[in-house]
Each structure stands twice: as C-alpha cells, then as structure tokens.
Amino acid sequence: MAYKIAFFGAKPYDIASFDKINERYEFDIRYYKGHLNINNVVLTQGVDAVCIFVNDTADAAVIDALVANGVKLLALRCAGFNNVDLNAARGKLPVVRVPAYSPYAVAEYTLALMLSLNRKIHRAYWRTRDGNFSLNGLMGFDMHGKTTGIIGTGKIAKILIHILKGLGMRVLANDLYPDEKFAKEEGITYVSLDELYKESDIISLHCPLTDQTRYLINDDSIAKMKDGVMIINTGRGLLIHTNALIEGLKTKKVSAAGLDVYEEEGDYFYEDKSDKIIDDDVLARLLSFNNVIVTSHQAFFTKEALHNIADTTLRNIKDFEEGRPLVNEVTK
C-alpha cells in the first residue's frame, strides 16, 4: 500500500513540482489548499506523513493531534522550523526539513532588492508607464566602494558576499560562529554588531530566528546605524520590529527597506488579497512608503529551488519509510 502524505498549503506550482518528483516514489499525496492548524488537523487521520511550509502551524496542540491521528513523520518543505514546537515533538514525532534548496536564488534576490531600491527601478517603472520620463527623485549611488553589513554568514550569505565583492563593495560580517577561513578568502571582516551598524551603508539579514535574534532590528539598533542606511531582510520577518523600522523610515534614518518577509505575514503572504482591504495597519503603513519594497516571501522561488524542495522532501520521507538515517532531521 502506498505511503500516504497530507500536504498542506498546496499551490499549483507545489503540486506540479511534487507530482513530477513523485513519479519515482509513487506516494499517495493528498493536497490541501489550507494551512495546517488545529481546526483542520482532522484531515491527517489515516496518513503516514504530513508535509508543511512556513505559514502552517505545528504548535503543541497540533503536534499532539498529529500523533493521536497516527502520523509518523512531519516533513517541512523549507529550511526554517520556527513554526514547529520541537519540544512538543521530541520523542513523539520526528521532524525533517530541507536545509538548502537554492542558496543562489535567495542571494541573487537579495541583490535585486538592493539594486532596485538604490536605483529606484520600481518607481521608474511606474513613471514611464504613465508617460513620465523625468529623472527627478530617482538618483542612486555607486555600490562600488560602499560598505554592506551581513548579519549571519550561512550558505546564502556567503554566496551574497561573493557577489558583493564582485561589485567592489567592502563587506563587514557578524555571526555567532565566525568562519575566519572564508573571511580570509573573500577579504571580509567579522566585527561586532555595533561596529557593523555604525559602518554599513546597507545591512542585510541572514541569521536564523532565535530568542536572541527576535527583533534584532529595533529602536536601539537603528539608532546606532549610519544615517540613510538601507535595510534588507530575506530571512525571517521577526528579525525586524516593524514599528521601529517605520519610525526609522519616517525620520529618514533609514533611507530604504527591502522586505521579502514580514513579522505577521501568515495571513497575507502566498494569498491573493487584491479584492480586500488590508486590515493590518502596520503592513498597510509599510506599503505606503515609496522607498520600501515588500514582496511575498518569494526570494526562494526559482525552478531549481522548487525541484530541489520536492526532491529533498520526498527523499526525506522515503528514508523514514525504509528506516534509513534521517540526515535532515531537525534536532534542538
């Protein structure tokens, strides 16, 4: 009998990529549009594994319900796992993830946000469509010779650093576990957060979300930054206290912000809300700034990434089914 998988938050592109890879495995995948939560966890009765994404809920109540329903494995089709209560799952429900699916996709997208904000490409696009070919208000700066501060130097950040060095930028970095060999090879310097804030023209966030990094960017940290700093976040929404960022934008301490994540994104990202009023006042305020670009957690979204996500996720499930070591198991 085919192994049964309940797949939550399914989008057409997910279904296409997973069905293609599943030709090798022949799992019985049941796709659900809704996000996993305590109200629909009943749908997992009788399945062997549950597959979720970043905006699904796997808190203690959901974990207990999954176990009671006979679910044997929770498979994340993403790298982050801050939406899973690992303490509740420990000893009851193994959790696997996709640790890296396309670090190039996210690094390249981060650069795209930097360039778009710096050169005002998003504003120029709308101007010329309206027949306005004026250059007033579109001036940027040469990125060559400027300083970028990178917080967190995992795979994505290292690729981005290599790209930025190719532009002739100076790079400062901060990480709990500095990679001095990499720093020497790329000609970058690990510094304290305070020094990074003080020296950087652009700050890009690539650290994981932990108790220590939650609201890393706040009123105090922004006050330490260079006037006119650009802030980019393609990591996790809760790394930034959004109200503090808005205040920084209002005072012009922050000249621009590129956000592919948002601290309360669960109700909006990946969904079409174009026919509804945005009732999140903080998000609405962010969207009102012409020097802010907000995108819907799409930095990962390339053909290569979707293929790798499906391939790794289904391989993780197959390894579990056949009793092989879970190389991508999440342990705390």
How many helices and strands, by DSSP H and E, does the chain display?
12, 12
Yes or no: say if 165 and 181 are a contact pair by the CB < 8 Å rule: no
Which residues make Cβ contacts (< 8 Å) with residue 204, sequence separation at least 6? 110, 114, 148, 149, 150, 151, 157, 160, 232, 233, 234
Give CA–CA dist 28/26, Å, rounded: 7
Q: Around 124, how many Cα atoms within 13 Å sit in the side-chain half-sphere?
A: 15
b vs e for 229-262, b when ≥16 Cβ sit within 10 Å of the residue's Cβ? bbbbbbbbbbbbbbebbbebbeeebbbbbbbbbb
| Rounded Cα distance, 140 and 117, in Å | 8
24 flagged as catalytic: no
Q: Which residue has the tokens 């679910």?
A: 71
CB 173 within 8 A of CB 191: yes
Radius of gyration of the chain (CA): 21
Q: Which two tokens stand for residue 305?
A: 């990434």
Do residues 82 and 236 touch, judged by C-beta distance below 8 A?
yes
- Is 162 annotated as catalytic? no
Active site residue 236: yes
The vertex-95 CA angle with 72 and 16, nearest 5°, equals 85
- CB atoms inside a 10 Å sphere around CB 90: 13
Q: Which of 35, 206, 236, 315 is catalytic?
A: 236
Q: Active-site residue among 77, 170, 206, 265? A: 265
Helices (H), the chain: 12-22, 60-68, 86-89, 103-119, 121-129, 155-166, 180-186, 193-199, 219-223, 242-250, 281-287, 303-321
CA-to-CA distance for 199 and 183, rounded, in angstroms? Answer: 18
Query: Which active-site residues does the annotation give?
Result: 236, 265, 297
